Structure 1
Amino acid sequence: MEIRNIAIIAHVDHGKTTLVDRMITQTHVKGAEKSGEGGLILDNNDLERERGITILSKNVSVLYKGVKINIIDTPGHADFGGEVERVLNMADGVLLLVDALEGTMPQTRFVLEKALALGLKPIVVINKVDKPNCRPDEVQEEVFELMCTLDAKEDQLDFPTIYGSAKQGWMSADPQKPSDSIAPLLDAIIRYVPAPKVEEGTPQLLITSIDYSPYVGRIAVGKLHRGVLHAGDTVTLAQRGNVLKKCQIKELLTFEGLGKRSVPEVMAGDICAIVGLEAFEIGDTVCDAENPEPLPTIAVDEPTMSMLFTINNSPFFGRDGKFVTSRHLKERLDRELEKNLALRVQPGPSADSFVVYGRGILHLSILIETMRREGYELQVGQPRVVTKEVDGRMCEPIEVLNIDLPEEMSGKAIELATRRKAVMLQMDRRGDRMHLEFEIPSRGLIGLRNQLLTATTGEAVVSHRLKGFEPYRGPIESRQNGSLVALESGTAYAYALNKLQDRGAFFIDPPEEVYAGQIVGECSRDIDITVNVCKSKKLTNMRASGSDDKVILAPPVRFSLEEALEYIQADEYVEITPHAMRLRKIELDENVRKRQQRNGG
């Protein structure tokens, strides 16, 4: 059977997962109707559905005109670069999906750059041509210019273009002549995506993904580069550091529709899953038992941000989590390392803490959010960027920041970005909106998105990608306001909060329980103030006119996890449990904090 392996590249929310869903339903894949009830078939992880982004790459296959098309859905966000690296190693061609109104966006560029470097030829799909004010011809020009900028080769620049609307379920070579299905796209895949190159020789399979089954344990997934694998074969597992291990293949699976099917053998070029390998890692090679020839391991973008993870030691420890000890935390992080390529973990300053390195706040916050939903309690410190020395100079990660917003708000955005050591590269008009491009240190991005959204009343569209490491750009001003810290543990009363409203904005509602050292609000000044929110009104047997007026409180500020991580200072933690998220001082005792301040700590 002929095979085509394709990866789909697109910016967040350009309709990539919807397009894959249409390909699945068009080719009548078994089980698709059930899986897609009430949502997208591929974004089946709760977090993916809530956020509308793809986090984990997934493999599905469809059969069209006797050709098996393996489709790999890739994450569109630069923070999931580890996922992207692995996925592209399995593909022989890519679909570059671009919104007909928005055009090429930063995350499109990030994945496309990697695909072009691997020599993959793209088929450009200009989606959402049913949108009002769309500009498919201009967008096609933008794609060509972007590829020239990314040093695409001659044959890569000679790309076919398909237009259509994944939502409405049609594709066509001409945007003015809609078809009645997405068949033109499937035909283009068969015509333009090359069949996998099959070399003669012994088997070679690079493990690019890990699956898990509660019955058989860890399953290795990858593309068989050459040779033939049979169920029951003895193979060599070649690992980093020239370590060779003999293993037996217990079962071979290929992807069929949304699931897998057990097969007796797999031919070169197909993507398959292997059951029976022991203690393997992503980047290992499955090769011949007698003459092992390992493939080069996968190179992954290095981490740009670190965060301290530690056990929850607050007074509310263990109230609503199942996994609360440092052993639980270590086991969970070790498990994540097996499949999350871009993650690194090192021991922290204390025995029950760990320093976790990732590709950005979103990358790390997805891990934290997943852990809290699994029943973990933990505390995390302020995100810090990773610096390194290059030619004797301290260098930090620099990102390219793109902001799209209404023209009248561009001045405010420029002011906020330049305050954080950003340098403007480009400013141009796109329709009725302005497009701004900056170079900015990664640490300058911490908390910037929230400020931009506030300043532009939610109108700004912000995205960024890593450019590289450049010399340190000097100190950046951080949060201006101090914290309101609870004086004692107890229940917060409306009476106390009402008396303190002039001190700042609160993060809590009465009758919420608080503990001493918990951050209950933001101070209106640039200092930390300790306040007693547990003070209740003393009752007397006397009544006075006007003393029992109804208390009117401003609604509390509620943070998302990313906002909380961006908000905290160096001496603060975010406490995360399955049902709560609190901000706190690392040192809960006010007297100890004052002593540390006096001693310059």
Structure 2
Amino acid sequence: MRTDTTTSTTTSTTSTTSTDGIAAVRNLGILAHVDAGKTTVTERILYLTGTTHRRGEVHDGTTVTDFDPQERDRGITIFAAAVSCAWAGHRINLIDTPGHVDFAGEVERSLRVLDGAVAVFDAVAGVEPQSESVWRQAERHGVPRIAFVNKLDRAGADLDAALASIRERLHLHPLAVQLPIGAEGAFTGVVDLLHLRALTWTNEGDGGDGGDGGMRRGPVPAHLAAEAAVRRRALEEAVAALHPGALEEFCTDGTLGAATLTAALRDLTRTGEAVVVLCGSAYRNRGIEPLLDAAVAYLPSPLDAPAVRGVTSLTDDTVQERDPDPEQPFTALAFKVNAAPTGRLTYLRLYAGRLHKGDTVLDTATGRLERVSRILRVQAERHTETDHAVAGDIVAVIGLKAARVGATLCAPHAPLLLEAPVSAEPVVTVAVEARRSADTDKLAAALARAAQEDPSLRLRTDPETGQRTLSGLGELHLEVAVERIRRDHGIDAVVGRPQVAHRERLVAGVTGFVHRHVKQEGGAGQFAHLVLDIHPLDDTCEEDFVFSSTVTGGRVPREYVQAVEAGLREALTEGPLGGHPVTGVRVTLTDGATHPKDSSELAFRTAARQGLREALRAGRTVVLEPLAEVTVSVPEDALGTVLGDLAARRGHIQSTAASQVTALVPLAELFGYATRLRSRTQGRGTFTTRPAGYAPAPTG
């Protein structure tokens, strides 16, 4: 008995020590619209924390996280990059995510493994379309966020206007904890409203004061004292209105202390009831230290996140939970794969347990055992080898030969299957061929590797013509993928004209549709009898397909019902009008019959596939084309030209401001629009897009 007690105590102590280390970890993403400055924010964080010794610049192509040649050539983030740094006794794992809509899949996969995020907004433009999209993505994953209003040194920068934009576009409570000191070119610092002090930067953060990045603390400037007091009071009232604990102190004392405000802001951030807003200029190195302090204070550690939930396996839906504890069985999710010719690099988020170099892990979905030969701490393109990793870590491993993006890796004796990141459906397709026939097989392998790295890419080979097509989330997405194949593999690839990915939607169904599948060719035959009700789904339904069965009395056994559903899903991959995927279908199996010898899962699967295709032809479907919400920024003198061009592209104008137009435009009409816009506005026009659903395509 004494031995058991001692062992228990030792284990408890080890667990506590380990979880103390996890509490000091922050796994954060940097989210923003393209050109809002998130990569510059990341670079300044790395410089300020001593991780790098030179400030990288996007325009010079010297940033740490934008290390791919295409990123440096284009001046945008294309691939999510992970880096680590230390601040105030905490280890911060940062993922710099793309801001362009074509690379939303990278953002989605990153958010799946993050505990918190910093959303960067442009102080002039406010909440831009892709800012809103990535915010909603984070909201869907339940990732707590704080906001950083960047570029306050620019002409036209306005913190209050940015706050109003956050309030109107994101429908939440922005809680500004800072007040700018100076405006535009005269912006020199901020007033910290929690502690009523000034934080100023007298230079651009050369670190001359012993690593403090040039930041000085001092009293609030006299000309801002009254405004700072008013804003502090407004902050207290806003927090008290949202947080019961703060309300109690506010009603008792008539004010809120800094400690109470900090605790309340942490709670509101983690519940998503409000967003803490800071401000600064990353390019000028102003505002980064308070941003890091806020990330540590308000955003959660892996211990604050709920236990991950999963099922035992693909065939066993028993739900299990794993706490973020090193003493739990090892559990991790693969969220990124770099299938380079020199070896496979698999990025993991550890949710529980420990991983050591040389460990054997189980890929739960495939049942395959894999050996981890090396574990790497990631610093964008550079890596540092380590012997082990624990719950809460984000690392890369070498040695996994088959694990794909979304794979759950776990201890072989404790299988668990986590939900994989969801990939958006492709909307643009191009044909890709090798110019030289000798490169055909090489191109096929390169395309397969590209699709393996990026699940947003879909590769298909036409069974009749042998032509290979690559589908993705936009022109730029496919352009980058093909260019990478050309560069990395030395293949001269020829790309066809882009085509949009249409859908077919059911608008009129059939009731009591009977299909009887009978096949007899000697030996065991096939028999299945089905009665189906096929109806359109309501437009408000988020599902593309809903299946149910009302069969009673065992007329169709349960295993055959599952086969029916599988066959129905196969039928929906090709519609009757153009072979496009069919959406908006509700199918109910109302009756059926079996044969004692000839019925099987295969027979019912075949019957369901054939029956639904016949039923769709008996009903009515329409072809849908993808739409994009286009936001065009142009000088006022070019506004009329742009409006006319959008109308010619079948665009529906949503709003028009002095120098900005928002319209819904069929995606097919936007091919080549960037060149056309530049020529019609003498290079002064810019535009952004984001997916906006589908609409019926014109007939004829």
| TM-score normalised by structure 2 residue count | 0.61
Query: Aligned with 1:143: secondary structure?
Result: helix
User: 1:306-321 maps to which residues of 2 (within 5 A)?
Assistant: 306-312=429-435
2:68 counterpart residue number: 45
Does the CA-based 8 Å contact 1:309-1:379 persist in structure 2? yes
2:600 counterpart residue number: none
**Cα-to-partner distance string for 1:458-479 (whole Å, 9 max, x where unaligned):** 221111100122222457xxxx
Distance 1:300 1:59 in 2: 20
Does the CA-based 8 Å contact 2:56-2:63 persist in structure 1? no
Q: 1:275: Cα distance to partner?
A: 2.3
Distance 1:257 1:77 in 2: 19
1:395 counterpart residue number: 624
Q: Label 1:332 to 1:31 Cα distance change in 2 as closer, same or farther (>3 A).
A: farther
Query: Aligned with 1:170: secondary structure?
Result: coil
Q: 1:129: Cα distance to partner?
A: 0.4
Moved more, 206-215 or 440-449: 206-215
Task: Tell whether 2:208 aligns with 1:208.
Answer: no
**Cα-to-partner distance string for 1:84-131 (whole Å, 9 max, x where unaligned):** 111111211111111111222112122111111111122111111011
Match of 1:57 among 62, 72, 80: 80
Distance 1:160 1:219 in 2: 36
Does the CA-based 8 Å contact 2:149-2:280 persist in structure 1? yes
**Cα-to-partner distance string for 1:181-221 (whole Å, 9 max, x where unaligned):** x2111101101110013615422211001135766x21221
Task: Tell whether 2:241 aligns with 1:115.
Answer: no
1:459 counterpart residue number: 684
Match of 1:14 among 36, 39, 43: 36
Q: Aligned AA for 1:416?
A: D
Distance 1:69 1:365 in 2: 33
Distance 1:415 1:257 in 2: 45
Q: Label 1:276 to 1:100 Cα distance change in 2 as closer, same or farther (>3 A).
A: same
Match of 1:385 among 500, 508, 516: 500
Query: Aligned with 1:206: secondary structure?
Result: strand
Does the CA-based 8 Å contact 1:204-1:225 persist in structure 2? yes
Q: Percent identity?
A: 30
Task: Tell whether 2:428 aligns with 1:305.
Answer: yes
Moved more, 375-384 or 141-150: 141-150
| TM-score normalised by structure 1 residue count | 0.70
Does the CA-based 8 Å contact 1:24-1:32 persist in structure 2? no
Query: Aligned with 1:289: secondary structure?
Result: coil
| Unpaired segments ≥5 residues, structure 1 | 172-181, 313-317, 476-601
Distance 1:333 1:307 in 2: 12
**Cα-to-partner distance string for 1:538-569 (whole Å, 9 max, x where unaligned):** xxxxxxxxxxxxxxxxxxxxxxxxxxxxxxxx
Q: Aligned AA for 2:474?
A: G
Distance 2:493 2:380 in 1: 39
2:657 counterpart residue number: 428
Structure index of larger Rg: 2
Task: Tell whether 2:309 aligns with 1:193.
Answer: no
Distance 1:68 1:5 in 2: 9
User: 1:469-488 maps to which residues of 2 (within 5 A)?
Assistant: 469-474=694-699
Q: Label 1:214 to 1:425 Cα distance change in 2 as closer, same or farther (>3 A).
A: closer
Does the CA-based 8 Å contact 1:218-1:275 persist in structure 2? yes
Q: Label 1:258 to 1:44 Cα distance change in 2 as closer, same or farther (>3 A).
A: closer
Query: Aligned with 2:443: secondary structure?
Result: helix
Query: Aligned with 2:300: secondary structure?
Result: coil
Does the CA-based 8 Å contact 2:426-2:471 persist in structure 1? yes
Query: Aligned with 1:160: secondary structure?
Result: strand
User: 1:500-511 maps to which residues of 2 (within 5 A)?
Assistant: none
Q: Label 1:142 to 1:78 Cα distance change in 2 as closer, same or farther (>3 A).
A: same
Task: Tell whether 2:526 aligns with 1:411.
Answer: no
Q: Aligned AA for 1:409?
A: A
Number of aligned residue pairs = 447
Q: Aligned AA for 1:295?
A: L
User: 1:258-277 maps to which residues of 2 (within 5 A)?
Assistant: 259-277=382-400
2:558 counterpart residue number: none
Match of 2:344 among 180, 196, 218: 218
2:441 counterpart residue number: 327
Does the CA-based 8 Å contact 1:5-1:69 persist in structure 2? yes
Does the CA-based 8 Å contact 2:102-2:476 persist in structure 1? yes
Distance 1:299 1:160 in 2: 28
Q: 1:255: Cα distance to partner?
A: 3.2
User: 1:4-403 maps to which residues of 2 (within 5 A)?
Assistant: 4-29=26-51, 39-148=62-171, 155-171=271-287, 182-196=288-302, 197=305, 199=323, 201-211=328-338, 217-239=343-365, 243-255=366-378, 259-312=382-435, 325-348=439-462, 353-374=467-488, 375-391=490-506, 392-403=621-632
Q: 1:257: Cα distance to partner?
A: 8.2
Query: Aligned with 2:364: secondary structure?
Result: strand
Query: Aligned with 1:329: secondary structure?
Result: helix
Distance 2:280 2:377 in 1: 31
Distance 1:82 1:275 in 2: 23
Q: Label 1:341 to 1:214 Cα distance change in 2 as closer, same or farther (>3 A).
A: closer
**Cα-to-partner distance string for 1:157-196 (whole Å, 9 max, x where unaligned):** 411111111111010xxxxxxxxxx211110110111001
Distance 1:330 1:253 in 2: 30
Query: RMSD of the TM alignment (CA)?
Result: 2.5
Structure 1 outlier segments of 4+, above 4 Å: 30-38, 212-215, 349-352
| Unpaired segments ≥5 residues, structure 2 | 1-20, 174-267, 308-322, 507-620
Distance 1:89 1:24 in 2: 23
Query: Aligned with 1:306: secondary structure?
Result: strand
Does the CA-based 8 Å contact 2:428-2:473 persist in structure 1? yes
Does the CA-based 8 Å contact 1:204-1:294 persist in structure 2? no
1:537 counterpart residue number: none
Does the CA-based 8 Å contact 1:324-1:377 persist in structure 2? no
Query: Aligned with 1:107: secondary structure?
Result: helix
Distance 2:451 2:627 in 1: 25
Q: 1:369: Cα distance to partner?
A: 2.2
**Cα-to-partner distance string for 1:444-488 (whole Å, 9 max, x where unaligned):** 11122322222222221111100122222457xxxxxxxxxxxxx
Q: Label 1:461 to 1:158 Cα distance change in 2 as closer, same or farther (>3 A).
A: same
Q: Aligned AA for 1:104?
A: V
Does the CA-based 8 Å contact 2:144-2:269 persist in structure 1? no
